[in-house]
Amino acid sequence: MLIPFLTAKIHRATITGCDINYEGSISIDEEIMEKAGLRMFQKVDVYNINNGARFSTYVIPWPRASRGIVVNGAAARLVQPGDMVIIAAYALLDEKELNSLNAVIVNMASGNEIEKIIHSKL
């Protein structure tokens, strides 16, 4: 049996932009993506701390060191620049995989600077 487990989380990132006319996705600074272990087109859930909205989308890169977190497409109606969000990625794992994987939690500070990175054993 496969069970969903958190594998990556970007905690308290600030939305820097919204583009309703884009086809969809969340754009994340490439450096933040790498630190969290996220890949282009990977599915993520986004939880808006300010208004409680939740949605699923996929990741695309935003320019490195820009500190940008931009929500695109229809989901752009669920956030505003300045909102704080949690971005979470999950994987379906079986019992054998649990001991070999770590969850990565990237805690963000103001300006989307990386405050701390935690690697937690699953």
Mean per-residue pLDDT of the chain: 95
Q: Can you list the alpha helix ranges (DSSP code H) found in the chain?
A: 30-36
Note down the domain range covering 78: 3-121
Total domains present in the chain: 1
Is 24 a residue whose pLDDT tops 90? no
Catalytic residue numbers, as ranges: 25, 58
User: pLDDT at position 122, please?
Assistant: 66
- Identify the CATH number of the domain in which residue 21 sits: 2.40.40.20
Nearest to 108 by CA among 98, 99, 117: 117
Q: What is the pTM of this model?
A: 0.95
User: pLDDT at position 95, please?
Assistant: 83
**pLDDT bucket at 116, cuts 50 / 70 / 90:** very high
- Mean pLDDT for 55-82 is 97
69 within 8 A of 26, measured Cβ to Cβ: yes
User: pLDDT at position 56, please?
Assistant: 98
Give 4's contacts (C-beta < 8 A, 6+ positions apart): 90, 91, 92, 93
**pLDDT bucket at 23, cuts 50 / 70 / 90:** confident
